[in-house]
Amino acid sequence: MVVATYGSDSTYATSSARGTALQKPFQLLVIAADLLLILLCYALASELYSVATPSSGDGAPIGAGLIVSAVFVAIAYFQGVYATHRLLSLVWQLRKAVIIWLVSLTILAVAAFLLKSSDNLSRGTFLVFTGIGGLGLLSLRFAWQWVLGTNFAKGRLVDRKVALLSLKPLDFTSSRFKDLRKNGFDVVRHFVLPANNHGTSWERQIRDVILQSRAADVEEYLLAVDWNELPLLQQLELHLRAVPQPIRLLPDNSIADLVSRPFLPVSGTVAIEIQRPPLSVFERLQKRCLDIGLALFSLVALAPVLITVSILIKLDSPGSVIFRQSRRGFNGKPFDIWKFRSMYVCENGNSITQATKRDARVTRIGRFLRMTSIDELPQLWNVLRGDMSLVGPRPHALAHDNYYDEIISNYVYRHHMKPGLTGWAQVNGFRGETPTIDLMEKRVEYDVWYVRNWSIWLDLKIMARTAATVISQEAY
The closest of 133, 147, 141, 144 to 105, measured between CA atoms, is: 133
Are residues 137 and 166 located together in one domain of the fold?
Answer: no
191 vs 1, 165, 353, 438, CA distance in Å? 7, 5, 57, 40
Are residues 110 and 164 located together in one domain of the fold?
Answer: no
Cα–Cα–Cα angle for 447, 450, 452, rounded to 5 degrees: 110
**Overall domain count for the chain:** 3
Question: Among residues 212, 237, 272, which one ends one of the domains?
Answer: 272
The model's pLDDT over 147-171, given as tens digits with 9 standing for 90+, comes to 776 655 555 555 578 888 888 887 7
Mean pLDDT lowest among 115-119, 193-197, 242-246, 407-411: 115-119
Tell whether 211 is covered by a domain. Answer: yes
Query: What pLDDT is recorded for position 274?
Result: 77
Distance, in Å, from the CA atom of 255 to the CA atom of 85, rounded to the nearest integer, reads 24
The CATH number covering residue 228 comes to: 3.40.50.11900
pLDDT, mean of residues 367-392: 90
Are residues 103 and 221 located together in one domain of the fold?
Answer: no
Tell whether 67 is covered by a domain. Answer: yes
Query: What pLDDT is recorded for position 2?
Result: 44
Are residues 220 and 71 located together in one domain of the fold?
Answer: no
The model's pLDDT over 231-275, given as tens digits with 9 standing for 90+, comes to 788 778 877 888 888 888 888 878 887 877 777 888 778 888 877
Confidence of residue 18 (pLDDT cuts 50, 70, 90): very low
pLDDT, mean of residues 401-425: 88
Give percent above pLDDT 90 in the chain: 20
Q: Is the pLDDT of residue 43 over 90?
A: no
The model's pLDDT over 87-139, given as tens digits with 9 standing for 90+, comes to 777 888 888 899 999 988 888 888 777 766 555 566 777 888 888 999 999 99
Are residues 90 and 192 located together in one domain of the fold?
Answer: no
Are residues 236 and 219 located together in one domain of the fold?
Answer: yes
Where in the sequence is the domain holding 33, given as residue range(s)?
Answer: 6-153
Are residues 43 and 129 located together in one domain of the fold?
Answer: yes
Are residues 113 and 169 located together in one domain of the fold?
Answer: no
Mean pLDDT lowest among 137-141, 247-251, 382-386, 433-437: 433-437
Distance, in Å, from the CA atom of 399 to the CA atom of 403, rounded to the nearest integer, reads 6
Mean pLDDT lowest among 38-47, 175-184, 265-274, 420-429: 175-184
Question: Among residues 272, 291, 320, which one ends one of the domains?
Answer: 272
| Other C-beta atoms lying within 10 Å of the C-beta of residue 456 | 13
Tell whether 348 is covered by a domain. Answer: yes
Tell whether 1 is covered by a domain. Answer: no
420 vs 185, 354, 380, 434, CA distance in Å? 43, 19, 10, 18
Distance, in Å, from the CA atom of 288 to the CA atom of 191, rounded to the nearest integer, reads 54
Distance, in Å, from the CA atom of 270 to the CA atom of 40, rounded to the nearest integer, reads 48
Are residues 306 and 446 located together in one domain of the fold?
Answer: yes
Give the chain's mean pLDDT. 80
Axis-axis angle for helices 63-78, 90-114 (nearest 10): 130
Distance, in Å, from the CA atom of 59 to the CA atom of 65, rounded to the nearest integer, reads 12
- Phi, psi dihedral angles at 275 (to 5 degrees): -135, 125
Are residues 286 and 256 located together in one domain of the fold?
Answer: no
Question: Among residues 272, 295, 324, which one ends one of the domains?
Answer: 272
Query: What pLDDT is recorded for position 288?
Result: 94
DSSP of 55-97? GG-SPPPTHHHHHHHHHHHHHHHHTTTTSHHHHT-HHHHHHHH
By 3-state DSSP, what share of the chain in percent is helix, strand and coil, each rounded to 5?
60, 10, 30
pLDDT, mean of residues 198-226: 82
Are residues 445 and 357 located together in one domain of the fold?
Answer: yes
Confidence of residue 19 (pLDDT cuts 50, 70, 90): very low
Distance, in Å, from the CA atom of 340 to the CA atom of 6, rounded to the nearest integer, reads 64
The residue that leads in pLDDT, 178 or 246, is 246
Tell whether 360 is covered by a domain. Answer: yes
